[in-house]
Chains A and B, each alone.
Chain A
Amino acid sequence: MSGGGEAQVAGLRLRSPVLVAAGCGGTGRELAAYAPLADLGAFTTRTVTSDPRAGAPAGRVVESPSGLVHATGLPNPGLDHFLATELPGLVAQDVRVVVSVAVTSAADAAALARRLGRAPGVSAVELALAPPGGRAEDAADEDLFAALEPHEAAGMVGTVARELPRGLPVWAKVRNDPDRVVAVARACVDAGAGAVVVGDGLPAMLPDGRPGGLGGPAVRPVALACVRRVVDALPHVDVVGVGGVATPTDVRAFLAAGARAVGVGTALLHDPTTAARLAAVLREETR
């Protein structure tokens, strides 16, 4: 069971139910300046793709009331460079590392999973099934796979799960869409996902018309509803709740809704000590 001090997700014991959400922890080095990462449940990396990506031209993260709209185009150095330069540094921090990946095709997913399966120090692979700009025209990440239908999600999760060695689970990161989340989550679990991460930014638009994903407290009630629906429909599935977690009350609300753990994202961009503080408060409570 998820308690204040520890958590269990997809068979992994985590030191805390508080995780760093994908794309909000930099390379890990920056965050480690403020507090040790080792006290957190896991560090989810920025989303990595097979090939390097420069990101969107003038990639931006723009403020909206109680939220941030992300339209960065997932800048990342590509898997090779990530494995050589970023992963070792994270592993050295003595924190569980969940590598977030986005893929362009089933073949790409299979190749990526095979390589990650051999990388030392990876605790889980989080497959981004709904990158914010995915399928939207004009998005820098429009070539990335985005699952709108449950069978599409299942196909890609299955591909990754088959290529990963036993003991290395795939976490399916799905969109915070209360009407579809149960069907997508069920399909992912049937296809081999060890956990469901709910969820990615809400599809949104920047003032200049470019697509992005909305995160932060503005989406928290939506994320909570999604977690509750998935947990009610699929009580045996491990759910990680992501969406606007900023205070101990928020963590408790997600855990009470049935999440095993929570990902802290946007709040870190506002206060880089948030995840460490939340983990400490929860640990204290279960003493």
Chain B
Amino acid sequence: MSSTDRRPVHVGGEVLASRASGGLVHLSVLAPGIGERFRPGTAVAVSIGPPVSRSRLARRSFWIHEVKPVGGRGLALGLVVEPRGAGSRWLAEAPVGTPLELTGPLGRPFALPQEPVACLLVAEEYAAAPIFPLALRLRERGCAVTLLLGARDEAHLMSALEARRSARAVTVVTGDGSVGRAGRTADALPEVLASSGAEVVYAAGPTPLLHAVAAAAEDHGAWSQVALEVPSPCATGLCFGCQVPVVGEAGSPRSARACVDGPVLRGDRVRWADL
């Protein structure tokens, strides 16, 4: 493989390790070829259920959280799953050794700034998964990284410890105040954005948060890059079932496929009111 071949691959893999932490399950997954092509902001699509009895045909996407070598077997992907519906439960409960069908890395990653500018990274719950590897890449480029992390409660917050390693300043907000400030992530945005002096804001999480980030960035004259989570039945660009309304070139309304034209889009290009 040439180092510039970033095209996704469809591979067989397996669950290497699984660890529950509060309301989230951290999985390590063998997925030959996917880790080598990884850039922060891309996802992997997983088929749900064993092939012999598979009746769920929509795939489920998961952010790639980390990429780690596993002795002699290539690179493993770290995924963070919040078990809630049929697909996420199946994956979260899959015993070590469960074979998986995976496709990835999927979509356009976060675009990195050319200059070492200050950056604010905002995410909620498991959607912080792509934000941590992004923080590392930004630090490598000399960017000052500020993190704003939110969750409904501590059980759904991704490790604040990890956050402190990759950022200069970290603000944590929880809905119930179990860690950090109590309240909504979006409410903390204006203050954190102002104090960070960020020229670029990166965000991942539910749509209302991303909308708030795009608006706040606009107010501060900053760029925003938002990682959208739109139900993506094929996740590979084939079905057109994941359309996001965007502003096209020359300002014309258009739609983009969240799975291949996204998941990361410029916040000022999304037609939020039509989403």
Contact = CB atoms under 8 A, between A and B. Distances in A.
A60 B231 contact: yes
A4 interface: no
B57 A68 contact: yes
Interface string A59-87: 11111011110101001000000000000
Interface in A20-77: 23-27, 29-31, 33-34, 46, 54-55, 57, 59-63, 65-68, 70, 72, 75
A65 B55 contact: yes
A70 B241 contact: yes
Summarize B's interface: helix, strand, loop or mixed: loop
B271 to A, nearest CB: 11
Contact of B57 (A46, A60, A269): A269
A30 B260 contact: yes
B274 to A, nearest CB: 8
Contacts of B274: 57
B7 interface: yes
A45 B56 CA distance: 25
Nearest to A59: B243
Nearest to A35: B10
A123 interface: no
B240 A62 contact: no
A63 B240 contact: no
A46 B233 contact: no
Contacts of B8: 33-34
Which interface residue of B55, B59, B245 has the most chain A CB atoms within 10 A? B55
Contacts of A66: 55, 57
B57 A55 contact: no
A216 interface: yes
Contact of B233 (A31, A34, A61): A61
A109 interface: no
Contacts of A273: 10
B241 A61 contact: yes
B7 A33 contact: yes
A207 B237 CA distance: 24
B196 interface: no
B259 to A, nearest CB: 9
Nearest to A24: B238
Interface in B51-71: 55-59
A54 B245 CA distance: 9
Interface in B7-66: 7-10, 47, 55-59
B234 interface: yes
A258 interface: no
Given A34-B9, A60-B231, A269-B57, A26 B241 contact: no
Contacts of A133: none
A54 B275 CA distance: 13
B239 interface: yes
Interface string A183-221: 000000000000000000000000000000000100000
Interface in B92-140: 101, 103
Nearest to B11: A273
A62 B236 contact: no
A216 B10 contact: no
Given A60-B231, A61-B234, A272 B10 contact: yes
A149 B271 CA distance: 41
Interface of A: 23-27, 29-31, 33-34, 46, 54-55, 57, 59-63, 65-68, 70, 72, 75, 216, 266, 268-273
In order of increasing CB-CB distance, the 7 nearest A-B pairs are A61-B241, A30-B237, A269-B234, A33-B7, A63-B58, A61-B233, A26-B238
26 contacts: A25-B238, A26-B239, A29-B237, A30-B236, A33-B8, A34-B7, A34-B10, A46-B240, A54-B245, A54-B254, A54-B255, A57-B274, A60-B241, A61-B58, A61-B233, A63-B57, A65-B56, A68-B233, A68-B239, A70-B241, A75-B240, A75-B255, A216-B57, A268-B234, A272-B103, A273-B10
